[in-house]
Structure 1
Amino acid sequence: MQSHGGGNGRKQQFRERLGVLRDTALHERVKHALPAGRWTRRHWIQASLFTTIGVLMATIVPGFSNAIQAPVSTPHATFALDLPELSEARQADADADSWQIVRVKPGQTMGAIFEELGIPAATLYRLLENADAKQALTRLKPGAEIAFDLPATGGLRTLRYDRDPGHRVELTIGPDKITERVIARETTTRTVVLSGKVGRSLNRSARKAGLTAANINSLTDEIFKYDIDFNSDLGPEDRFSVVVEQTWREGELISTGPVQAATFTVNGKLRSGFRFTRPGGKPEYFTADGRPLKKSFIRMPIQYARMSSKFGARRHPVLGTMRMHKGVDYAASTGTPIMAAGDGRVQFAGWQGGYGRTVILDHGKGHTTLYGHMSRLGNIKPGQRVAQGTVIGYVGTTGLSTGPHLHYEFRINGVHRNPLSVTMPPPEPLSGAQLASFRTYTANALARIRTVEDIIYADVGPAEPENAKVTAAAKPAAAGRKGSGKG
């Protein structure tokens, strides 16, 4: 109430002062400018203007006087509170941001990582005293993740890495010893079908579908290498489907296994391959009827080469005389790898007259192959067994040669045969109990593939099976029967 009364008093004083100022101004104006006894129109206008200004100021200004009054200050008090100390669990949460995760780059070593993080080399030496850690940390693979617990107080407190997909190792570094803790991590393995169309690039489409580089190499260099020319046969609408096992951990895909089964539909024709292991043998790929996809011999033991001379009579490029050319020549750059045409044993490796540096392989049952004019030999020696595709040497121009090329011969019981037309011995197919087990496996794999393809490619007609010739031959006999189209 007191403050309210004080405000009214100030307003009244302000109005009185305005009134005095107005009267004084009018009096002075009239005294100096007004002729005696008479007001002009101009004088009346000026007097009205001053009066209006005075009234407005008397009305508006008091509101400002209230607005700019100093606020009443409110007293503040500060109290000291005793807070409880953080528990160990809460303290651990507070230190959680001290972890730094490093993804190993190609060629990067553990020593380089420690140096980059500013961790003393002596700490690394202590860690490597642990046998498990030494094996894991000295064989780092690109992409592997290693976590470092580096608190603000300095120094490495804990090192963490994955021993394998199902186990994580934590090494806590103490002043006297290093404590190891192995943490089991649950993983899930799923059998999936990855499918896609070739499009512009088989490699790009296959990677987009989820296949790894190793899976793609299996398709092109192992399973279908004998039946599909991946440089010229494929069209953008051709499709592939692959059965693989994927391992997942905590919602993350961590690995993809080898190809278990695969189909390739090229120009409407279906090709298939299935992985199977004979008792006591190694995994191989077979057709749906149990025949190995791997041929006993590959026609061309060198990739990306040009045939420069065929099998038969010709004029020798060095001697200038007509003589029998007992092999096939492939022109290629010096140093191009040369592969074993089939599984066999090294019968000869060294210099042999006009052939220069030469390798001869014995494949059994009277079959041998010769590789001449090499610049250098591969990592082989006489008596050693080699698998088909093993690099046995490199293209050169040693011996009687006018340029870098491979001279390749194929012999049966010592008689030279044309490698491009000779009938190669077929590999041994599955039979008996092995074939029965294989057919059960292939039926399950094909069922998975068909289920996926029926969904993805519902608008595309079914592919022509591998035994299309047999099916076509049977059509005339069945054509006259009613309802033969479906059944």
Structure 2
Amino acid sequence: MRGRWPKQDMLLHPRRRRRRGRPWLTALLVLLAVGALVYMVVGGEEEPDEQALAHGLAFAEAYMRVNSAVALSQATLTSGEAEAILAEKAEEAALSASFTEGQAAVIAGEIKPNQSVFVSLQARNVSAGAIHEVVTATEKEFDFRRSRPGDQWRVETDESGKIVEFRYQTSPEDIWVTTLQDDGTYVAVKQEVPIETRHEAVAGSIASSFWLALEATGESGALAHRFMEIFQYTIDFNTETRAGDHFAMIFEKVYLEGEFLRYGRVIGAKYMGERGTYWAFYDEERGEEPGYYDEEGESLQRQFLRSPLPFTRVTSRYGRRVHPVLGGTRMHRGVDYGAPIGTPVQAVADGTVVFAGRAGGYGNLIKIRHSGGFETRFAHLNNFARGIRAGVRVTRGQLVAKSGNTGRSTGPHLHYEMLQNGRHIDPLSVDTARGEPLKGESLASFKSEIVVPWRAKLTEALREAAPRALAQREAASGPDEQLDTIQSEP
């Protein structure tokens, strides 16, 4: 089934045994051909005539061609190419098959937009009763409310249309199998898929942007996004990165049958920039909940994200400026981010939407009230996310709108404001309290078991990736900073 993942044919392609060739048959054919050639050439006569010789040679040539074709066919079967061809044909047949009364069937498909698994199977002539039985049993293991377009399914039915086996796949490693038992009941299980998780390290230096610097290491932007999420409470990657900054991270790469499948967690990370050096280490045992901490056990979690956009640039800061539309010097009570129309805008903290609609020069505007007397506003929006309206609760990082160019605007951008107790403040200056830090024995074990080994590996990765840049930084820094940012653990 051709879909959205690698290794996606597991629902349709069980492993098959290879067919062995028959060397004794080839030898027998060779002996027969040689005997026939001798008889035709010699013909029992003392001197073969030219016609008989020509016939014999023609026969020999024809045999050689046939034998070559047979050998090629056997080689194809032996190499498994024939099996692949048969499997592909079976796949194509299953993708277009429908149940016919009196005939067992193998049917496969995928969930289309605005379609449920029930509707998807019913469109292939599977009865409502059969679908209800197998879906009800599968729901004990998988919640079909989590179904998404592109999910794949496969059913095997008997001659009466009863489903003998049902498979549902949401990703290469998430497959549920429901089978009919001898007593007429169904049993659903999640299929074990053997995956391999490897720890890998990457490091580099920034020339223009962090995103491009990470991609230059050979990894994808998805990993860059995860790194930025870790430090999103302490570093604004839109405004605070500079050429010459360094980064390193140790992360998980998940493989399926030897092929890269996806990124796992970032285990440790380091960023060295103009504002300072930042560490992050993942821990899931010692804190109130799994999360990231710096080298001293301080939580990196804060109330507010540093930016409502994952990555872009600040085009106008908080403070007095010449108004681009009205002219004259006026107070700019927010921060403008240059962003193409349609850029996702996220809530910077948990809160409640108090307004979502049109508001004069603001264009499309959202106001969100947060704890501690804070309120955030997003203006000039193109549209609102589904379900966003006054009274709705939102969570930090949730998509609430997409940027646009509505209202009194000179070009596509996001205008972002923050108020505290009804008064405007500079959003870039807010640095609220962190989450609960690690203490006592938890802090001690965190430092010895996580910080020490992973910090040494991060430092090693940086030394290998940018030795010249680090040497220059080391020469220009004081001894305390050298120890903190470059030297390995004692």
TM superposition score category, shorter chain reference: 0.5 to 0.7
Secondary structure of 1:388's counterpart equals coil
Query: Does residue 126 of structure 1 match 2:130?
Result: yes
- Is the CA contact (8 Å cut-off) linking 1:169 and 1:180 kept in structure 2? no
| C-alpha distance in structure 2 between counterparts of 1:141 and 1:476, whole Å | 50
Q: Find the counterpart in structure 1 of residue 104 from structure 2.
A: none
Q: Residue 367 of structure 1 aligns with which residue?
A: 374
Cα distance, 1:150 vs structure 2: 8.1
**1:358/1:259 CA distance change after superposition, 3 Å:** same
Q: 2:347 aligns with which of 340, 348, 353?
A: 340
The structural deviation recorded for 1:271 is 4.8
1:437 matched to 2:442? The reply is: yes
Q: Structure 2 CA distance, aligned partners of 1:309 and 1:457?
A: 36
Change (3 A) 1:417 1:104: same
- Specify which of 187, 202, 206 is matched with residue 214 of structure 2: 202
Separation in 2 of the partners of 1:353 and 1:463?
51
- Change in CA separation of 1:154 and 1:278 when aligned onto 2, cut-off 3 Å: closer
Structure 1 segment 126-145 matched on structure 2, within 5 A: 126-130=130-134, 131-133=136-138
Q: Which residue among 409, 418, 434 is the counterpart of 1:410?
A: 418
Specify the alignment match of 1:307 in structure 2. Answer: 315
Which amino acid in the other structure matches residue 177 of structure 2? V
* Partner deviation per Cα, 1:432-484 (whole Å, 9 max, x = no partner): 54x743553464345267569869987986997xxx99x9354899xxxxxx9
Paired AA for residue 291 in structure 1: E
- How has the CA–CA distance of structure 1 residues 439 and 333 changed in structure 2, closer, same or farther, with 3 Å as cutoff? same
Is the 2:374–2:421 Cα contact (8 Å) retained in structure 1?
Answer: yes
Q: For 2:199, which of 177, 184, 193 is the aligned residue? A: 193
**Out of 275, 280, 284, which is 1:273 matched to?**
280
Cα 1:234–1:140 change in 2 (3 A) is farther
Distance 1:179 1:233, change over 3 A: same
Letter in 2 for 1:218: R
Distance 1:331 1:230 in 2: 10
Q: Deviations over 1:344-386 (max 9, x none)?
A: 3434444555545433333333433333344544433445443
Contact 2:365 2:377 in 1 (8 A): yes
> Structure 1 residue aligned with 2:227, among 216, 219, 223?
219
1:293 alignment partner, one of 292, 295, 300: 300
CA–CA distance in 2 between the matches of 1:270 and 1:372? Answer: 34
How far off its partner does 1:126 sit?
A: 1.4
Contact 1:349 1:359 in 2 (8 A): yes
Give the aligned partner of residue 392 of structure 1. Answer: 400
Return the letter of the residue paired with 1:368. E
Q: Could you tell which deviates more after superposition, 96-105 or 292-301?
A: 96-105
Cα deviation 1:303-342 (Å, max 9, x = unaligned): 5355157521535723x55443333334545544433333
Q: Which residue of 2 aligns with 1:327?
A: 334
Change (3 A) 1:412 1:455: closer
Cα gap change, 1:122 to 1:142, in 2 (>3 Å): closer
Aligned to 2:167: 161
Change (3 A) 1:394 1:105: same
Q: Is the 8 A contact 1:220 1:230 kept in 2?
A: no
**Mean CA deviation greater in 99-108 or 392-401:** 99-108
* Inter-CA distance 335–143: structure 2 relative to 1 (3 Å threshold): closer
Which residue of structure 2 lines up, in the alignment, with residue 263 of structure 1? 269
Moved more, 224-233 or 122-131: 224-233
Shift of the 142–273 alpha-carbon distance from structure 1 to 2, 3 Å rule, reads farther
In 1, distance between residues paired with 2:290 and 2:367?
27
- Conserved 8 A contact 1:270-1:463: no
Is the Cα–Cα contact under 8 Å of residues 111 and 121 in structure 1 kept in the other structure?
Answer: no
Q: Which residue does the alignment assign to 1:10? A: none
- Local SS of the residue matching 1:127: helix
Q: Indicate the percent of aligned positions where both proteins have the same amino acid.
A: 19
CA distance in 2 between counterparts of 1:324 and 1:161 reads: 61
In structure 2, list runs of 5 or more residues that go unmatched: 1-43, 53-85, 96-107, 206-211
1:259 partner SS = strand
1:242 to 222, 245, 250: 250
Summarize deviations over 1:158-194 as a string: whole Å, max 9, x none. Answer: 43426896986353499xx955355686677876412
Unmatched runs of 5 consecutive residues or more in structure 1: 1-59, 69-95, 478-483
Do the aligned residues in 1 keep the contact of 2:203 with 2:465 (CA within 8 Å)? no
1:425 partnered with 2:437: no
Structure 2 Cα separation of the partners of residues 241 and 289 of structure 1: 18
Amino acid at match of 1:364: S
Q: 1:180 maps to which residue?
A: 186
> How many Å apart are 1:196 and its aligned residue?
3.6
SS in 2 for 1:129: helix
Q: Counterpart of 2:442 in structure 1: which amino acid?
A: S
Q: CA deviation at 1:259?
A: 1.3
Does the CA-based 8 Å contact 2:152-2:169 persist in structure 1?
A: no
TM-align CA RMSD: 5.9
Distance in 1 (alpha carbons) for counterparts of 2:330 and 2:239: 35
CA contact (8 A) 2:118 2:131 kept: no
The one-letter amino acid paired with 2:137 is: D
Distance 2:262 2:145 in 1: 24
Superposed displacement of residue 389, structure 1: 3.0
**1:368–1:459 Cα change, 3 Å:** closer
Residues 57-76 of structure 1 correspond to what in structure 2 (within 5 A)? 62=46
- Provide the C-alpha distance between the structure 2 equivalents of 1:440 and 1:332, rounded to a whole number of angstroms: 44
- TM-score relative to the length of structure 2: 0.53
| Partner Cα separation in structure 2 for residue 360 and residue 113 of structure 1 | 40
Partners of 1:400 and 1:486 in 2: CA distance? 55
Find the structure with the greater CA-based Rg. 1
* Deviation at residue 261 of structure 1 after TM alignment: 1.7
